[in-house]
Amino acid sequence: MRRPFQHLLTAALAVGLAAVAVPAPASADRADTASASAATGGGDRYKRVGYFIQWGVYGRNFHVKDVDTSGAAAKLTHINYAFGNVNAEGVCDSFDAWADWQRPVPAEQSVDGVADPAGQELNGNLNQLKKLKAKHPGLKVLISLGGWTGSKYFSDAVVTPESRARLAASCVDLWLKGDLTGQTAGTGAGVFDGIDLDWEWPGSDGAPGNVIRPEDRRNFTLFTAELRRQMKAFDARSELTAFLPAAAAKIDAGFEVREVFKLLDFATIQGYDLHGSWENRTGHNGNLFTDRRDPNPVKYSVDTTVRDYISRGAPARKIVVGVPAYGQGWTGVTSTGNGLWAPAAGPAPATWAPGTEDYKILVDKPGRRYRDLLTGANWLYDGNEFWSYDDPATLVEKAAYIRLKGLGGSMMWSLDQDDAKASLTSALYKVLR
């Protein structure tokens, strides 16, 4: 039987779908963007966070300027810049200083159309982010530390009071004070408004080779407290956030939820990779509600994760729900129906990595599309390949859920995967403002 809350959500979705499906006149779009730009920042009720990937300037050819020209920048409150590194010495450094602050950006890739002149110390993505903030007052930019392949040494770096203080000081110096390696002190000042912790995962498995300790759970809290203290000493306005996992087992292994949320301005929770091409049958990448047909012993959903955090002491208003701008895909899917929960041969071929594909590619991919409003899921099946991904209508449903549950907002991984019109970002903005 359909639950009352899902009745409300389905009604909200019906209204939202009309808003997404009917394009506004060009003049209305311009007015909408202008009002969004003026409102962006701390005054917004809902956080609208988007990740910008450092390496996107290479093969993906996605630049900070594209966040502006797509219209996304005007509809975001925060950009998380991914990633900063915690190295083997237990201090913050850059994964790629060339992309971050050394690469001279040509005029055609620059936010303001002006190339970086010879001899300028702050170039690269950081200078472009600074220009983007100047164009969109109130937009906040946070440096995100770690990530899937960058969390190996977090555990070592936070194991003692002295190491925690050292790591925190190095992060504040490099990213907030802007003391960029090899440059004049303060060169990067004013780019970042805070720090986002993306340790994947304290106390439990992440990428192969990560250092893991049972003490990680407590040490994460202690480091968060130390980092918060040093950040506030530098600038009381600086923000501290974290990216937290979906699985209850990982939550309990790595996070003292009630204590950690007291230290954070907000936390973004994993709302994707709930199933993926590492499994031998298809499933949902980021379903909103538990699928009644799910054959797995542990049944994941965004709603389950939200409930798990709230039951452990997280305030609803500080929970920001992560949504994907990409899909999970399988090939060799054998099914006489719609392909869901069917056996698969392996990851589907894709542009950048097997089994994952950008929304902007999937939206034009041939095949039959299916939607389950009660589950909050969308997928594509062509008789061989199966792709689970979010489209604007799915995100309207998720945004309506965020409003009805009194949550803090949305986060998208990642902005380069949206289309040139920022359709996914715009769908969230229509509801979360």
Which residues are marked as active site? 200
Among 373, 378, 394, 379, CA closest to 348? 379
Strands (E), 54-138: 78-86, 92-94
Strand partners of residue 381: 368, 386
Greatest Cα pair distance in the chain: 67
Asked if residue 313 lies in contact with residue 350, where contact means CB atoms within 8 angstroms, the answer is no
- Residue 346 backbone zone (phi > 0: left; psi -120 to 50: alpha; other: beta): left
Distances (CA, A) of 106 to 73, 114, 116, 191, 416: 20, 7, 6, 19, 19
Helix (H) or strand (E) holding 107: none
Helix (H) or strand (E) holding 389: none
Could you identify the residue written with the tokens 């039987």?
Answer: 1
Q: What is the DSSP letter of 55?
A: G
The closest alpha carbon to 416, from 52, 47, 74, belongs to 52
The C-alpha atoms of residue 309 and residue 198 are separated, in whole angstroms, by 17
Of 243, 371, 244, 249, which is closest to residue 298 (Cα–Cα)?
249
Whether the bond between 201 and the residue before it is cis, its omega within 30 degrees of 0, is yes
Q: Are 224 and 264 in contact (CB under 8 A)?
A: yes
Sign of CA dihedral 312, 433, 197, 388: positive
Cα separations in angstroms, 424 against 31, 231, 265, 323, 394: 19, 33, 25, 10, 9
As a whole number of Å, the CA-based R_g of the chain is 21
Question: In a 10 Å sphere around its CB, with 0-12 CB exposed, 13-18 middle and 19+ buried, how is residue 295 labelled?
Answer: exposed
Q: What are phi and psi of 411, to 5 degrees?
A: -135, 135
Cβ-in-10-Å burial (0-12, 13-18, 19+) of 425 comes to: buried
